[in-house]
Amino acid sequence: MTRMLIIGPPGSGKGTQAERIVGELGIIAISTGDIFRANVKGETPLGLEAKKYMDNGDFVPDSVTNRMVRDRLAQSDVAEGFLLDGYPRTSSQVDELDDILGSAGVSLDIVLQLTADDEELVKRLLGRALETGRSDDTETVIRHRLDLYREQTEVVVSRYAERGILAKVDGLGEMDAVTARIMDAIKGA
């Protein structure tokens, strides 16, 4: 049974690697984006509340996000393990996740942090923008997103590093090589 987080800057290959990890380990992938979309689509009370913020382009407050994550982690399909992507993003969300897992008598096994050089990330994201036609992904916007990522996740990373469960993995290189480094980190946890 493996309970883990994956964090990394935009363009680090988190989504691709998350798919590979859950396939390899037979655990459930949980992303806050998917949780939000499912709740909004299902018109749950939390989904309707979140939609108000999302429609205005605002961040969904921790109080709503935390309740959605709590509900999702209470479902039976996560009993054999999970990979959580996009949560926690703040110190208070780290506390909430501790409470959620602690009330179930479990804790995280590992927090994977994919790392990559900013210049390589910018190159990747500009290439992806060209492929997908996302004209809003300019170099300025991408660099701003990278700065925001660092500001947001610094405290989360340091909290898990203090616990000794943070594994930094180089996200650059061939996809299979990155996956192999991740699996080595998981086995060493």
Check the annotation: does 15 bind a ligand: yes
Decide if 143 is catalytic.
no
Check the annotation: does 181 bind a ligand: no
Check the annotation: does 128 bind a ligand: yes
Check the annotation: does 58 bind a ligand: yes
Alpha carbon distance 12, 14 (integer Å) = 6
Check the annotation: does 145 bind a ligand: yes
Check the annotation: does 11 bind a ligand: yes
The residue annotated as part of the active site, out of 3, 89, 124, 181, is 89
Q: Are strands 110-115 and 166-170 parallel, antiparallel or unpaired?
A: parallel
Under a CB-based contact definition with an 8 Å cutoff, are residues 54 and 106 in contact? no
Decide if 145 is catalytic.
yes
DSSP code of 75? S
The residue annotated as part of the active site, out of 41, 134, 150, 163, is 134
The residue annotated as part of the active site, out of 123, 128, 143, 168, is 128
Check the annotation: does 168 bind a ligand: no
Under a CB-based contact definition with an 8 Å cutoff, are residues 153 and 94 in contact? no
Check the annotation: does 41 bind a ligand: no
Decide if 14 is catalytic.
yes
Under a CB-based contact definition with an 8 Å cutoff, are residues 84 and 4 in contact? yes
Check the annotation: does 89 bind a ligand: yes
The residue annotated as part of the active site, out of 51, 67, 143, 145, is 145
Decide if 3 is catalytic.
no
How does DSSP assign 114-177, residue by residue?
A: EE--HHHHHHHHHHHHHHHT-TT--HHHHHHHHHHHHHHHHHHHHHHHHTT-EEEEE--S-HHH
Check the annotation: does 138 bind a ligand: no
Decide if 72 is catalytic.
no
Determine the number of helices (DSSP H) and then strands (DSSP E) in the chain: 8, 5
- Residue stretches of the annotated binding site: 11-16, 32, 37, 58-60, 86-89, 93, 128, 134, 145, 173
Q: Write out the catalytic residue numbers.
A: 14, 89, 128, 134, 145
- Residue stretches of the annotated binding site for ATP: 11-16, 128, 173
- Residue stretches of the annotated binding site for AMP: 32, 37, 58-60, 86-89, 93, 134, 145
